Amino acid sequence: MENPTTFKAWMRRFVIPAMERMAYGNAEFYGRADVRAMVAAMVHQESKSGRADRPTTLAYIHHNLAGITFMAGDEKHYGKVTLPANEFDTGRWVDYRVYDSFEHSLHNIRWHLLESRLYRDDRKEDCEAWLRAIGPTWCDSNPKHVAGLVSLYGEWLKELAPGK
């Protein structure tokens, strides 16, 4: 039996079901198991604590699954929380968006991937190719993370789309 306190157990209990609920209104995106695996890989990379096998406070408490920062004008749509930067222990504090739910965060991830000028031109039908195309921007702080992202995609794809 799986330990219910692990990061993957949290993903299976909260994030994956939220993606499945999102599929009802976003069949072309979250209705695809390979896209869910791609987003799961991105969430895994961004939301797993570097110190323990659990989600970050930003993801667990504030529903921010992708580490999206708070910007001017966001106060109309999002709450704000100030936390230490997650990737580096530099003492730097960052303002992050607070989402109402995991679905709210997943909707925003979808928007970023399909509409944001940073990612929209790199869209590919094949999700692994899409990850490789957006990886250098998504993982701009450490380009070596692209390989980890692709590996996580493979793990989630086996789970969410057996036989692919």
> Cβ atoms within 10 A of the Cβ of 146, count?
18
Tell me the per-residue pLDDT of 23-33, one tens digit each, with 9 for 90 and over: 998 899 999 99
Q: How far apart are the first and last CA of the chain?
A: 25
Please say if the pLDDT value at position 13 is more than 70.
yes
Residues 58-80 have pLDDT tens digits of 999 999 999 999 999 999 999 99
Residue 25, judged by CB atoms within 10 A of its CB (0-12, 13-18, 19+), counts as: exposed
Residues 78 and 97 sit within 8 Å (Cβ to Cβ): yes
pLDDT band at 137 (very low <50, low <70, confident <90, very high): confident
163 Cβ partners below 8 Å, 6+ apart? none
Single pTM value for the model: 0.92
For residues 89, 58, 43 and 100, what is the CA-based torsion angle, rounded to 10 degrees? -160
The residue type found at 59 is A
